[in-house]
Amino acid sequence: MRVVIIRHAEVDFCWSRRCTSEGFDSECSGYDSAPIKEISFQIPQIEYQRIFISELSRSLSTAGQLFPEKEYIESGLVNEVPLRSAFDTKKKFPLWFWNVNGRLQWFMNNRRQTEGRDQTRERARQFVTMMSNSNTDCAVITHGFFMHTLLSEMKKAGFRTDRSSVGYKNGEYVIAEK
């Protein structure tokens, strides 16, 4: 069983450099609904029997460009880890500040974030079980931050991966085999 885990195409969105908590939350929503740019990357040419996508439009749009003649299986189990501001304030902070603090809260399972690390792990485990039960070659179009948890859970389930990264760029992929 071969699985190609692909990060979605680049999103056509320009983030504000500094924003309030409300502004950051609005930017996150804007990013989630923004279109993708034209795809300029290649993926392995395998006979994909199933193509899993997340519920976010950038995943569907990526699949549409990569696999225009195929059907997709949409699953919230491979959605990006949601992110929101770490606290409420009218003061503007740099984008990196909101990203780092939000992800630290996620790591510590802080209730301020929509989902904590434990919930993300469980979601990834459920997806790996579902995918493994199908025992077919497939593609998974998902998201950069979630890829780390997904690949970790796949390794625990006996998959071998061709590589790992600190950050996955848009269009990058990892091949996992079992």
pLDDT score of 124: 98
| Residue spans of the chain under pLDDT 70 | none
pLDDT score of 167: 82
Q: Which of 56, 41, 34 is nearest to 4 (CA)?
A: 41
Number of compact structural domains in the chain = 1
Output the pTM of the full model. 0.93
Provide the residue range defining the domain that includes 82. Answer: 2-177
User: What is the spatial distance between Cα 1 and Cα 66, in angstroms, rounded to a whole number?
Assistant: 21
- SS3 percent helix, strand, coil of the chain, rounded to 5, is 40, 15, 45
pLDDT score of 163: 82
pLDDT score of 160: 96
Q: What is the domain-level CATH number for residue 8?
A: 3.40.50.1240
Residue with tokens 């990892």: 174
